[in-house]
Homo-oligomer: A and B are copies of this chain.
Amino acid sequence: MSEPVFDIALDVLTKKYAALKAEKLNLDLTRGKPSEVQLALSNPMLENKNVFALDGSDCRNYGHLEGLPEARKLFGEYLGVPTQNVFVLGNSSLAVMHDLVVQMLMRPVPGEVRRWDAYHNLRNQPVMLCPTPGYDRHHAICEHYGIRMLPVPMKDGALDIDLVESLVQTERNVFGIWCVPKYSNPTGITYSLEVCERLANMEAPPGFRIFWDNAYAVHDLTEQSDELPNLFELCCRAKGSGRQEHREKEDRLFVIGSTSKITFASAGLAMLAASERNLAWFRQSLSVQTIGHDKLNQLWHVAFLKDMAGIRAHMAKHRAILKPKFDRVDEVLKRELSEFNFVRWNRPKGGYFVNLFVPKGRAKRVVELAGLLGVKLTPAGAAFPYGKDPDDSHIRIAPTFPPLSEVQKAMEVVALCIIIATYE
């Protein structure tokens, strides 16, 4: 970015600041939460009182550890995998990813002979590749279990696959990589076919796993959906190379999905898709962990969403609510910051976030100033491993939860704070 250019007088800024301060705002742009209006879209699901699955089984009772067959069919389609390659689980995809990490630490994944936790004792931490900016809760799992995070900064609006390939080859103990491959949290990036093909085909240790957190698979903000290549198919088709057998490439992938931002954030469904060997491995711990998940919720989800057409129609309603908010963020920033060349932001085609890049070393200050004016923002750096943005320039804006009027007001505050922080 070029040097900051100012043609605004300090006293104008001060007056604006004082005026906003007097409004005693209490606005929150911190987390990617659906709004009440969005949640209400799925209220018809609450009308369902059926308790019997298609196979006649009673969903109130124990059973179906892998998920209801009809749920596996629908969400297999949703994730682009055959029914037998998907489990439908509880209400939290984060819990699925957490549990996968824990199991990888505790016992060898298919193709590997050692459990990852064994490396800890050799004073060799397992290493997770973290495309940045990324999802803070992915990072929190790594931090909790002492997995060292290696940032992979996004490059030209894409995953830096050259760097990924090189790190997987040169770093010792590469445990895996976190990917939010479509409308990435928070960058909005969708992975290209080239990136996906190289992820499927690169050589990697047999214990390496791609955590393909496809959280925003159908969460478009425009009518033209980004097309995410089917990594599951690419991995199935990947040929062996070097010391790597074909099956190791098939096994390197965990696909994770969720309806938290389709139906109810706290009462949706999570799912895991993977090779049959991986699922058999996961089932071993799943079967000691639980007798089964809430199948009533699975049953009602299937009845409500029906099929992929039903999911798409439902998501169009979400889009109608969300698009104006994202448009408003863009409008306010354009209007307030058009004279300044030191701020850039993206206009995502899907997902839940807008990324603001302010001048280096100023992000923390912007967040602090906004806080003083009653606008809560996600802490600067939150999207980076260990909460450390090396440039202190990234701010994640989450405009989905507040009503449109609050989004507008909050963004006016943010814009002013950016100018002041840069002016300082």
A123 within 8 A of B: no
Q: Are B288 and A144 in contact (CB under 8 A)?
A: yes
Identity of the chain B residue whose Cβ is nearest the Cβ of A143 in the assembled complex: B288
List CB contacts (< 8 Å) of A71-108 with chain B.
Answer: 90-92, 94-95, 98-99, 102, 105-106
Is B39 in contact with A58, judged by CB distance below 8 angstroms?
Answer: yes
CB of A24 within 8 Å of the partner chain: no
A39 and B60 form a contact (CB under 8 A) = yes
Give, as a whole number of angstroms, the nearest-CB distance from A185 to chain B: 13
Given contacts A47-B49, A264-B60, contact A98 B288 (CB under 8 A): yes
Q: How far apart are A128's CB and chain B's nearest CB, in angstroms?
A: 14
Asked if B291 and A294 make an inter-chain contact with CB atoms under 8 angstroms apart, the answer reads no
Given A102-B102, A117-B117: A60 and B290 within 8 A (CB)?
no
Residue A295 at the B interface, CB < 8 A?
yes
What is the number of residues of chain A that contact chain B, defined by CB distance less than 8 Å?
53
- In the complex, are the beta carbons of A284 and B144 less than 8 A apart? yes
Is B265 in contact with A61, judged by CB distance below 8 angstroms? yes
A355 within 8 A of B: no
A98 and B288 alpha carbons, distance in the complex (Å):
7
Is A36 close to B, CB under 8 A? yes
**Contact residue among B42, B98, B266 (Cβ-Cβ distance under 8 Å from A59):** B266
Chain B residues with CB below 8 A from A295, complex form: 266-267
Question: CA of A266 to CA of B393 in the docked complex: distance in angstroms?
Answer: 47
Bound: A195/B31 CA distance, A: 49
Q: Are B290 and A95 in contact (CB under 8 A)?
A: yes
Q: Is the CB of A288 within 8 A of B117?
A: no
Residue A249 CB within 8 A of the other chain: no
Q: Given contacts A117-B117, A288-B144, are A36 and B58 in contact (CB under 8 A)?
A: yes
Instruction: Tell me whether B49 and A267 are in contact (CB under 8 A).
Output: no
- B294–A266 contact, CB under 8 A? yes
Q: How far is the CB of A79 from chain B (nearest CB, A)?
A: 20
Q: Is A121 an interface residue (CB 8 A)?
A: yes
| A:1-47 near B, CB below 8 Å | 31, 33-34, 36, 39, 42-43, 46-47
Q: Specify which chain B residues have a CB less than 8 angstroms from the CB of A267 in the assembled complex.
A: 59-60, 294-297
A334 near B: Cβ within 8 Å?
no
Beyond the given A121-B121, A144-B284, A294-B294, please list 11 additional residue pairs across the A-B interface where CB-CB is below 8 A: A39-B51, A92-B290, A92-B292, A94-B289, A94-B290, A98-B290, A102-B102, A144-B288, A266-B293, A267-B295, A294-B297
